Amino acid sequence: MLLHIIARGKIGRSPEAELVDRYLRRLTMPCRVTEMPDRGGKLPPAGPGTVTVMLDEKGKQLGSVDFARRIEGWRDAGTRECQFLIGAADGFEDAERANADLLIAFGAMTWPHMMARAMLAEQLWRASSIMAGHPYHREG
């Protein structure tokens, strides 16, 4: 299953970009990052067998194990691609939210898109380590 991060805004050469790269290089699942302009532009199409996860302040706050189990379930069900959408400063419209399969939030606070991207990359690595039974994640 392809993990596809689609993010509004450019991350450029920054400490956050280094974190994103560090975690995504560790993934054993294929991963792609698509950057979109802050406004406009067409999202990559969500073809058959695609799950759309939107990072949104109105989303569910999942624990890391729950997040990993969702990804594992989609993978095992034959999902071809999981798109993770990160919005610009104004977030997403209600119509866009309605089209997502899952809304998730990294807590009640608002995060800059660069930090959200780094946190998502880390959680994808953590999820893959949980699925593989690797000791990186510790419950406690």
Annotated binding site: 55, 87, 106-111
| Bridge partners (DSSP) listed for residue 81 | 2, 50
Q: 3-state class of 106 per DSSP? A: coil
Cβ count within 10 A of residue 86: 23
Distance of CA 135 to the CA centre of its chain: 22
**DSSP character at residue 15:** H
Cite the annotated binding site for S-adenosyl-L-methionine by residue number: 55, 87, 106-111
CA angle 130, 131, 134 (to 5 degrees): 50
| Spatial contact of 97 and 103, defined as CB atoms under 8 Å apart | yes
Q: Rounded CA gap, 2 and 17, in Å?
A: 20
Q: Rounded CA gap, 59 and 48, in Å?
A: 24
